[in-house]
Structure 1
Amino acid sequence: MDFGLAGKVALVTGAARGIGRAEAEALAAEGAAIIVNDIDKEGAEDFAKALRAAGNRAATAPGDASDEAAARAVIAQAADAFGRLDILINNAGAGGRHIGRKAEDLDVDDFDIIVRTHLRSTFLCAKHAIPVMRAGGFGRIVNTSSMNVTGGGRPGVTNYSAAKAGVLGFTRTLAKEVGGDGITVNAIAPGYVATDFIATFSPEKRAVITGQNPIGRFCAPQEVGALVAFLCSVQAAFINGALICMDGGKRDFHWGDA
């Protein structure tokens, strides 16, 4: 199936590695030019070079998408690189030490940085991308929520769950605001995806997670990329304001979760 993305230009935030990289690769495979955003400038450039070496059009727009001045600059760089901007994949976010504690034990900074990097960055990039997309008569925005929203969250990630729930609410309302402009806005809710971060988990922890999934494994980053590419396609023009779950059917959490 031809997704109709040849000649389109896609900006993927947090694309130097992991899920964002797989999303960018999937869009490039459909003919889209890729703008690689990441706070890791060297990593973004290395990935863009790899895309170009494989015969794709690619450029970089490094920067912190959760900072308004930086987000505005990232969108401007993306539009300038190939003369247009058609697709925005909001993938950037933080994790690590900022999650994993119950609400009463969370520092305010640990709450704020998760909301900032996941939710505020989504808002800022969309805010500045929409006028460019509207001028081009075509737009696809795909935001990243989480099965922590569809499954009600699990203990220790209240900040992350709040941010991802915010992403979903933002997505559904924004879809109503811009749908008439030829711009669709959707969200995906991945489960555990087999990234380098997951590789740091102990075998016991990985066994607990996969054992609770009906399919019995982790999601592959390339599977997320394939879903995102479809949502950006011309065939998906009537999908707007949707949340697409990609969690293997796991919609709940147990105290045994690692």
Structure 2
Amino acid sequence: MDFKLKGKVALITGSARGIGYAEAQLLGGEGVSIAVNDIDAEAARAAADQLRQQGIAAWPVAGDASNEDDVQAVVNGVIGHYGQLDILVNNAGIGVKPSYTVETMPAEAWDAMIQSHLRSTFLYTRAAIPHMRKGGFGRIVNTSSMNFTGGGRPGVSHYAAAKAGISGFTRTVAKEVGEYGITANAIAPGYVETALIAGFSDDMRQRLYAQNPTGRTCKPEEVAALVTFLASEQAAFINGALVCIDGGRRDFYWGD
């Protein structure tokens, strides 16, 4: 299928590794020019080099996704380098370890999680919309989580709150920008085979597999395929959606 993405420009936050890198690979393979964003400048450069070796147009741009000045500088840099911005994938965010119950959670841990996931999504979306509106085309894909759609799990209330906020934010943005040829959607992945999962014990991984109707966890390229579709012309009438990619496991509980 031709997704009609050739010539588009995508900014993917947190794309030096993991899910973000897989998204860069698949979008890049469709002819999209990629801005590889990461807080780690060296990691962003290395990822962009790897993508270029695969024949993908890639440019590294470092910046803290939760810092307002950095975000504006990154978006300005993308416009200066590529001349346009058509696709924004908000993928950046910190992990949930250590976990805390609400009673034991330091306010600093709460703030860091909200800033890394929810604030960063807001900042990048706000900065990108004017350029998308100018071009008459835009695709915004935000990353929620099964930890929201599944009702959360003990110990990660800050993460669940951030991901729930992203979903609500996305639906409102969709209503604000739809008339300009821009769509905003969110995805809610389950556990994905990244370095985080690789670091789990064999027993924990087997529990994750057993708890999923498919008997496995998600592959990064499967998330990337969903993002690529939502970025395409074929998905032009999908706006304000929250699309689960969790193998059907929405009612999970960590201890089951």
Distance in 2, Cα, partners of 1:114 & 1:14: 15
Distance in 1, Cα, partners of 2:104 & 2:193: 28
Residue 152 (structure 1) aligns with: 151
Residue 209 (structure 1) aligns with: 208
Render the CA deviation track for 1:174-197: whole Å, top value 9, x for unaligned. Answer: 000000000000000000000011
- If the length of structure 2 is used for normalisation, what is the TM-score? 0.98
Q: CA deviation at 1:22?
A: 0.6
Residue correspondences, number: 256
Provide the secondary structure at the position in 2 that maps to 1:198.
Answer: helix
Q: CA deviation at 1:253?
A: 2.1
Render the CA deviation track for 1:119-177: whole Å, top value 9, x for unaligned. Answer: 00000000000001111111000000001111100101100000000000000000000
Residue 32 (structure 2) aligns with: 32
Q: CA deviation at 1:254?
A: 2.4
**Contact 1:184–1:241, Cα closer than 8 Å, also in 2:** yes
Provide the secondary structure at the position in 1 that maps to 2:168.
Answer: helix
Structure 1 outlier segments of 4+, above 2 Å: none
Residue 221 (structure 1) aligns with: 220
RMSD in angstroms over aligned alpha carbons?
A: 0.9
1:200 alignment partner AA: G
Provide the secondary structure at the position in 2 that maps to 1:184.
Answer: strand
Same amino acid, percent of matched pairs: 60
**Contact 2:7–2:32, Cα closer than 8 Å, also in 1:** yes
Name structure 1 gaps, 5 residues minimum.
none
1:20 alignment partner AA: G
**Contact 1:10–1:85, Cα closer than 8 Å, also in 2:** yes
**Contact 1:208–1:256, Cα closer than 8 Å, also in 2:** no
Residue 132 (structure 2) aligns with: 133
2:195 alignment partner AA: D
Residue 99 (structure 2) aligns with: 100
Q: Does 1:117 align with 2:119?
A: no
Residue 162 (structure 1) aligns with: 161
Q: CA deviation at 1:78?
A: 1.3
Distance in 2, Cα, partners of 1:71 & 1:5: 24
Distance in 2, Cα, partners of 1:182 & 1:83: 18
Residue 194 (structure 2) aligns with: 195
Distance in 1, Cα, partners of 2:42 & 2:94: 18
Distance in 2, Cα, partners of 1:255 & 1:162: 17
Distance in 1, Cα, partners of 2:33 & 2:176: 27
1:249 alignment partner AA: G
**Contact 2:214–2:247, Cα closer than 8 Å, also in 1:** yes
Distance in 1, Cα, partners of 2:100 & 2:120: 23
Provide the secondary structure at the position in 2 that maps to 1:61.
Answer: strand
Render the CA deviation track for 1:187-232: whole Å, top value 9, x for unaligned. Answer: 0000000001110000011111111000010100000000000000
Provide the secondary structure at the position in 2 that maps to 1:48.
Answer: helix
2:79 alignment partner AA: A
Provide the secondary structure at the position in 1 that maps to 2:234.
Answer: helix
**Contact 1:147–1:191, Cα closer than 8 Å, also in 2:** yes
